A and B are shown apart, each in its own frame.
Chain A
Amino acid sequence: MSLKVTEQDRRRVRGTTLVFCVIFIVCAILAAVFAIITPRTQDIKAIGANNENITGLVETHDGSTYIIQSANWISERDSFTGEEILTLNITQAIKDKLAAHGESVANNSFTQMRMSVFETDTNKYFIAYDVNGNLFKLERNDNGQISVTDDYLLIKVVNEAFVPKNIKGMEAIGNKLYVLLLENNFFYVEEYNLDNLAQGALKRKFVWDISPSPEEGYIKIEAVKSATGVLSFYAHDGRLFFVKKGGGIIMMSTDLIDTRYGDGSMDFFADAKAAFDSVDKGLYNKFYNEEYIDTVVSKLLETADKKQLSKGGQPISKDEIIAIGEAYKAQSISKKVTIANVSASDADNWFVLQDFIDVFKSSEISDSTRSRVNQDAVTNATAAADGATKVELEWCKEYDANVMSMLVKEECLDKDCYNSLIPGESTINGMIYSRDNRAMYYSNASDGYLYVVSREDLEAAEIYSKVSTVAKRIDAIHCGKGQTFSDFGNGLSYNRFANTLYLKFANERRLVIVDINNAKSDIKNMDYKVVSSYIGAFDMYGISGDKDNSVTHVLHQVTKVDKKGVDHNYLYLCSYEPERFENKNVITVLFVIFLILAVVTFFISLWLLLSLRTDKGIKKVVFIAKDTKKNKFVYLALTFFVAMLMLFCYYEAVGAIAMSFFDYTREKPAWIWNNFANYVKIFNDQYFLPSIINMLFFLVSDIVLSIVPPIIFAILLILIRNKTTSNWVRSLMFIPGIIPSIASMLIWRVGIYGDEGLLNQLIMACGGQPVNWLLNKDYARWSLIMMGFPFVGGYLIFYGGMMNIPNEYHEAGRLEGLGTVKRFLKIDIPLIMPQIKYIFVTTFIASVQNFARTHILKSTVVTTPVQTMYTMMTEQANYGMSSAYATLIFIFLFVAIVTNFKMQKQDAMGADL
């Protein structure tokens, strides 16, 4: 090797250097190219002159364009290129139109305009609406311009009591427009004439929900309220479909009649109201009857003469009783009272009186009450009051205008007019109706599969039957399990042009594209561009796709946090081209490969260039080159192992340490630098010090228990005279190992430490009180340590070590006069030091990382850093904090192990000297 560097070597090294430089440049360029062509979803921020935020996304009649709307603007864009086709200031257009008709626009600001697009057999309609319920039809003229038509519907807002019409959805069949709205806490459906909106609502109807009634032969019908909510609404071929929160389906006839009963059609609410209104004073039910209230009040006063009345421990005076009665009557006369707008104090009175009435009527009142109240008088009064307002309706039994519920006869309900289904065993977060397929689709969050309910099955279903019994699972389509859509089912959309379903789950970046024709689903990662500090909750406001399903548009919410930590929500529209994304993973992989190659070749080139300068360097290069050539298969094989190592060890370790300095949670999966806040939080945590103490406590006990009892056991085994016995004992000691570790921990948790476990059974047998071994602070730590008693399981390593000590040592010891005890202390134990050190180090590492102990045994009173780390990672999904804990554990282990190795080295050196 000391030979002079030949000119040939020099040339070769130069050539190699050149080759590596070229490879580096090529790889760097390729990496850059792949980085550039990596498909990204395109984010189009708010449009419109004032840069207002998007409020809605609608598909046009043929799916070739889409329309995005901000508060005042609508903008039509090309579905593929995203280029703007036209933009209209809709508020201004409406105001101009109204001004042309000489209408006043006072009280109508037309601010929160929304839009829907319908296609019927003959026409396409664009309907714009606002919260007041103003409806405008938009028309496209021959020049392609959009203008407002003359047949608008203007709601005259006259007084402050006006209740806004919160429009939740629109659907059209023929020239009929059906509008779902939430008004006064109830859901209604209204019918309009699309050719002339100015006529106003032609029909109006509650959306009824059906549930079984305790009364034989009757069914309870109840108006759907905002709490039980309608998620989505579809109209098609004589039917309206309402999908309830939780997955129930309500079907209604488009005639908007409730039932056909007897000779003609019937309207539950209107008919019942008419019947009850016709009765004396128009009292809705017996609780509204003035006479009845008077009777009750007088009875109450009588009682009050004899003894103080009280409610909920509070005495009630006569004046109060009279006042309650008056308030009650006042409410009943105003008729329009609903529970919702009774003030809190009124509501109290209401229930006070109702309570008393219940007490009077109850047959289960105590004897003392019975003696105070003239039961007969009350019964007579009640009967009289009942009789006075008793409305005998053949089909309706109870009727409560306040909560809009009544009991109607079962045969009243005509399934063709009205039906309601409950979800059953499925977890349904939203459903969609496909007109072309005549079916409902939903994904069941419990198993992740797509289900289909055909219209025929739906119509044939019994009243109040389960959706799950009529639905069919499509085995080929899996949408991901346990997922939920955002509120109001916005994560679900159907593209009729491509017969495709889109499912977008709350807080997930994934979009599921379900191709119904080919019965396959495709789960795509939506690559939202991070436009602000982080992408927050991915709330959905709409998904649409074009006719070839080549572009999908997703309107999603981005939360931006300002410097003060305040969240600001913005809506973003992103366009997503599934086909372009087909190759995304390939491109990403290629990018990573070329990036790695570029980095590696860069360093090799740099080293070669530096080596070229000296003869020594060249010699080294030549040597390494020869070595590498000789061992090329070794290096080739090592590439695989090193790649695995980098991918599954180094990447994680480095990434976790880096992540510990950032805010990173499942809800906000972005790296936000937080000035060591994770560490500050950990060190300020009041549970941190106790958890460290617990960790050290377990560490010491684990190390002692994994070394001392096994060594003693091993020594005793060696001391057994009868070798057959020793053999048997060693065989038997393997057998408890057949219990899976988790099972043995669960046996300790339930079978031994449990409430009815062995220890408590023993204690109770001795007449003691059972102890909660794992949750009592005094016992928990010791219980956890005692798990694994008698701790001799790891004896085999020590036993093996001692058995392998050559007998000459023992002979020599015996000649020196060492007894049995001294033999082990002076000869055996020092000679099995390697085994002891091995167990020491492995136990040390395992003990600090042992989360299963506290986790599986559910001993929540004992925290350790690793348990906190696990909780942070799983339950809280706070990866930044979790990483910070992991980093601290790593530092602790690293320092401890390095110190240990250093000490060992010093010992070894000392021994050598």
Chain B
Amino acid sequence: MENKNLKIATPTVQPKEHTLLMPHEKTGVQVPILVFIFICLAFSFLPLFLTVVNALKTDVQVQTNAFAFPKISLIGEAVAHNFSTAWAAIGKYYFKTILVALVGAIGETIIGALLAYILSFKDFYFKDFVFLLFISVLLVPSIIGYPILVPLVRDTFGLNDNYAGYLIAMIGGSQVMGMFLFKTFFSQQPKSLYESAALDGANDLVILTKITVPLALPIILYYFVGCFSGIYNEYLWASLILNENQTLTNIMYAVVDSGAIKYGSMYAMYLIASVPLIITVAISMKYFKSGEFAAGLKL
């Protein structure tokens, strides 16, 4: 998988590369390109910049100039106030939400992978029908079913205000996306490996854990990370089904909306809430920087 990148990095076809620059590699072209890229970068960083800078400022400073850098002398006082206020508002739900998102992401990934494995490698009569059954769901907007789903989970299952009810519907409703993504990648894996494994008498469990998953590990990780931040960032479903047991997203929206938390403390709260995502982003960065995964992406 790496050698494609190497081809670009060390082109063997063009040995005179250093002496013969392509037109776009001339400095006159490179400078505007770099300027443009850095402007884009700067603007992409704007919300993060505001968050970090303002979390370190006192309320008065944020009000007067949100863009200014914090005064060093006041940082201690500002941090103490902002972060303690923010933690008081969301601390109770912080680890709960992370745990819920973890459990949900693990569930979604396992179910998606199992389903994709069956639909990719198993040969059975109703396979096409089952695949169609799953894939048709992609046409249905997920939001459409909430008027039915809410009473189902809340009253029929009796899981109102319960993280289990919150997760079960999310996992049940999202298996198609995982299946679809994984199936696309599983089917690109070399068939010969599977054939030889089958000849050696490996059962499905062995094939799945020893061949399929290791080969598709980046995409599984990609999906897992996506699921985690998806559940961590979920707003609508949580707002409908959870009441006292809240998720961070809803608590943050509620406290900002009611004006209970403002200015510096608000930004400190965002900063606290972004800590779990730092890990997911670090994983993404390690595995997906090259954009390799996008090669197999198609509908």
Are A and B a genuine interacting pair, yes or no? yes
Q: Which of A642, A748, A849, A852 contacts B133 (CB 8 A)?
A: A642
* A658 to B, closest residue via Cβ: B148
Binary interface profile of B, 32-48, with partner A (CB < 8 Å = 1, else 0)? 01101101110111111
B47→A838 contact, CB < 8 A: no
A190 CA to B63 CA, complexed, in Å: 62
Tell me whether B76 is interfacial, beta carbon within 8 Å.
Answer: no
B43→A750 contact, CB < 8 A: no
Tell me whether A381 is interfacial, beta carbon within 8 Å.
Answer: no
A886→B33 contact, CB < 8 A: no
Tell me whether A261 is interfacial, beta carbon within 8 Å.
Answer: no
A835→B47 contact, CB < 8 A: no
Binary interface profile of A, 764-799, with partner B (CB < 8 Å = 1, else 0)? 000000000000000000000000011011001111
Which residues of chain A have C-beta atoms less than 8 A from B171's C-beta?
644
**Minimum distance in angstroms from B140 CB to a CB of chain A:** 5
**Minimum distance in angstroms from B69 CB to a CB of chain A:** 14
Tell me whether A743 is interfacial, beta carbon within 8 Å.
Answer: yes
Chain A 631-654 residues near chain B, CB threshold 8 A:
631, 634-635, 637-638, 641-642, 644-645, 647-653
Chain B 130-173 residues near chain A, CB threshold 8 A:
130, 133-134, 137, 139-149, 152, 155, 158, 161, 168-169, 171-173
B277→A737 contact, CB < 8 A: yes
Question: How many A-B residue contacts, CB cutoff 8 Å?
Answer: 301
Tell me whether A871 is interfacial, beta carbon within 8 Å.
Answer: no
Chain A 610-638 residues near chain B, CB threshold 8 A:
623-624, 627-628, 630-631, 634-635, 637-638
A651→B148 contact, CB < 8 A: yes
Tell me whether A721 is interfacial, beta carbon within 8 Å.
Answer: yes
A649→B137 contact, CB < 8 A: yes
A720→B252 contact, CB < 8 A: no
* B12 to A, closest residue via Cβ: A807
Tell me whether B22 is interfacial, beta carbon within 8 Å.
Answer: yes
**Minimum distance in angstroms from A581 CB to a CB of chain B:** 13
B5→A803 contact, CB < 8 A: yes
Tell me whether A870 is interfacial, beta carbon within 8 Å.
Answer: yes
A649→B140 contact, CB < 8 A: yes
**Minimum distance in angstroms from A571 CB to a CB of chain B:** 25
**Contact A886-B141, Cβ < 8 Å, known A743-B273, A796-B294, A800-B293:** yes
Binds A, one of B77-85, B188-196, B228-236: B228-236
Tell me whether B50 is interfacial, beta carbon within 8 Å.
Answer: yes
Which residues of chain A have C-beta atoms less than 8 A from B299's C-beta?
834, 837-838, 841
* B39 to A, closest residue via Cβ: A790
Binds B, one of A68-76, A236-244, A342-350, A722-730: A722-730
**Minimum distance in angstroms from B26 CB to a CB of chain A:** 9
B290→A800 contact, CB < 8 A: yes
Binds B, one of A1-9, A166-174, A205-213, A751-759: A751-759
Which residues of chain A have C-beta atoms less than 8 A from B29's C-beta?
719
A493 CA to B130 CA, complexed, in Å: 53
A734 CA to B45 CA, complexed, in Å: 10
B114→A649 contact, CB < 8 A: no
A735 CA to B13 CA, complexed, in Å: 36
Which residues of chain B have C-beta atoms less than 8 A from A758's C-beta?
50, 66-67
A740→B175 contact, CB < 8 A: no
A874→B114 contact, CB < 8 A: no
A869 CA to B144 CA, complexed, in Å: 9
Tell me whether B295 is interfacial, beta carbon within 8 Å.
Answer: yes
Tell me whether B274 is interfacial, beta carbon within 8 Å.
Answer: yes
Tell me whether B214 is interfacial, beta carbon within 8 Å.
Answer: no
Tell me whether B270 is interfacial, beta carbon within 8 Å.
Answer: yes
A841 CA to B177 CA, complexed, in Å: 14
B281→A737 contact, CB < 8 A: yes
* A811 to B, closest residue via Cβ: B13
A750→B256 contact, CB < 8 A: yes
Tell me whether A373 is interfacial, beta carbon within 8 Å.
Answer: no
Which residues of chain B have C-beta atoms less than 8 A from A723's C-beta?
9
* B157 to A, closest residue via Cβ: A585
Chain A 829-862 residues near chain B, CB threshold 8 A:
834-835, 837-838, 841, 845, 848-849, 851-852, 856, 858
B148→A838 contact, CB < 8 A: no
Which residues of chain B have C-beta atoms less than 8 A from A819's C-beta?
23
A761 CA to B43 CA, complexed, in Å: 17
Binds B, one of A91-99, A192-200, A887-895: A887-895
A581 CA to B218 CA, complexed, in Å: 51
A619 CA to B51 CA, complexed, in Å: 69
Tell me whether A804 is interfacial, beta carbon within 8 Å.
Answer: yes
Binary interface profile of A, 669-687, with partner B (CB < 8 Å = 1, else 0)? 0000000000000000000
Tell me whether B65 is interfacial, beta carbon within 8 Å.
Answer: yes
Which residues of chain A have C-beta atoms less than 8 A from B103's C-beta?
none
Which residues of chain B have C-beta atoms less than 8 A from A647's C-beta?
152, 172
Q: Which of B8, B33, B173 contacts A719 (CB 8 A)?
A: B33
Q: Which of B148, B243, B269 contacts A481 (CB 8 A)?
A: B243
A798→B45 contact, CB < 8 A: no
A652→B285 contact, CB < 8 A: no
B233→A741 contact, CB < 8 A: yes
**Contact A879-B147, Cβ < 8 Å, known A746-B253, A856-B235, A856-B253:** yes
Tell me whether A404 is interfacial, beta carbon within 8 Å.
Answer: no
* B262 to A, closest residue via Cβ: A750
Q: Which of B25, B140, B244 contacts A653 (CB 8 A)?
A: B140
Which residues of chain B have C-beta atoms less than 8 A from A719's C-beta?
24-25, 29-30, 33
**Contact A852-B235, Cβ < 8 Å, known A747-B270, A797-B297:** yes
Q: Which of B8, B114, B144, B298 contacts A887 (CB 8 A)?
A: B144
Tell me whether B115 is interfacial, beta carbon within 8 Å.
Answer: yes
* A845 to B, closest residue via Cβ: B141
B143→A849 contact, CB < 8 A: yes
Which residues of chain B have C-beta atoms less than 8 A from A835's C-beta?
294, 297-298
Which residues of chain B have C-beta atoms less than 8 A from A642's C-beta?
130, 133
B297→A834 contact, CB < 8 A: yes
**Minimum distance in angstroms from A593 CB to a CB of chain B:** 14
Chain A 459-491 residues near chain B, CB threshold 8 A:
481-482
A733 CA to B40 CA, complexed, in Å: 9
Tell me whether A655 is interfacial, beta carbon within 8 Å.
Answer: yes
B22→A882 contact, CB < 8 A: no
A849→B141 contact, CB < 8 A: yes
Q: Could you show 30 A-B contacts with beta carbons less than 8 Å apart?
A: A585-B158, A634-B124, A637-B118, A641-B111, A648-B168, A648-B169, A652-B146, A653-B140, A653-B144, A656-B148, A657-B144, A727-B289, A732-B45, A740-B277, A746-B270, A751-B66, A761-B67, A797-B294, A803-B4, A807-B13, A834-B299, A835-B294, A835-B297, A849-B143, A851-B143, A882-B146, A886-B144, A886-B146, A889-B143, A893-B141
Nearest 5 pairs of A and B residues by beta carbon: A800-B291, A652-B145, A800-B294, A648-B172, A655-B148
Chain B residues proximal to chain A, CB less than 8 Å: 4-5, 7-9, 11, 13, 21-25, 29-30, 33-34, 36-37, 39-41, 43-48, 50-51, 54, 63, 65-67, 111, 114-115, 118, 122-125, 130, 133-134, 137, 139-149, 152, 155, 158, 161, 168-169, 171-173, 175-176, 229, 232-233, 235-236, 239-240, 243-244, 248-249, 252-253, 256-257, 266-267, 269-270, 273-274, 277-278, 281, 284-285, 288-295, 297-299
Chain A residues proximal to chain B, CB less than 8 Å: 447-448, 481-482, 525, 585, 623-624, 627-628, 630-631, 634-635, 637-638, 641-642, 644-645, 647-653, 655-657, 659, 664, 713, 716-717, 719-721, 723, 725, 727, 729-744, 746-748, 750-752, 756-758, 761, 789-790, 792-793, 796-801, 803-804, 806-807, 811, 819-820, 834-835, 837-838, 841, 845, 848-849, 851-852, 856, 858, 866, 869-870, 873-874, 879, 882-883, 886-887, 889-890, 893-894, 897-898
Supply 12 further A-B pairs (C-beta < 8 A) apart from A652-B145, A751-B50, A890-B139. A585-B158, A651-B148, A652-B148, A656-B145, A737-B281, A747-B51, A750-B266, A800-B291, A801-B291, A807-B7, A882-B147, A886-B144
